[in-house]
Amino acid sequence: MISHTNSAFWKGYAKLPSQVREIAKKQYQLFSQDPYHASLHFKRVHSSKAIYSARINKSYRAVGLLNNNIIIWFWVGSHDDYSKLLKN
């Protein structure tokens, strides 16, 4: 699977605590090697759109759109904000 990010992702990334940014880098590298690694909890989170999430840690998630084996990560933030995002 090919993984990319967009500017919206980087805006969210810049707002993360520095420790979470470091973990996010490691998880992104892990995703590049094995998207289905158990620690990522990579899963579809929308019933009609190919929107997926990956776990950064217990409290943070990344969200992306998958199309033809390419995922574009467009959001990253806290689990609380993630829950709100999914409700919309």
Give the DSSP letter string of 4-48. EE-HHHHHHHHHS-HHHHHHHHHHHHHHHH-TT-GGG--EE--SS
pTM as predicted:
0.93
Residue 88's pLDDT band (cuts 50, 70, 90): confident
Show the tokens assigned to 36. 């289905």
Residue 32 sits in which domain range?
A: 2-87
- pLDDT for the residue 38: 97
pLDDT at 39 exceeding the cut of 80:
yes
Question: Domain holding 63: CATH number?
Answer: 3.30.2310.20
Residue 63's nearest CA partner among 35, 79, 1, 54 is: 54
Instruction: Calculate mean pLDDT across residues 28-33.
Output: 96
Q: What is the mean pLDDT of the chain?
A: 96
pLDDT at 8 exceeding the cut of 90:
yes
Total of domains in the chain = 1
Q: Above pLDDT 70, what percent of the chain?
A: 100
Residues 50, 66: contact at Cβ < 8 Å?
A: yes
Q: Give pLDDT tens digits for 12-27.
A: 999 999 999 999 999 9
In three-state secondary structure terms, 88 is coil
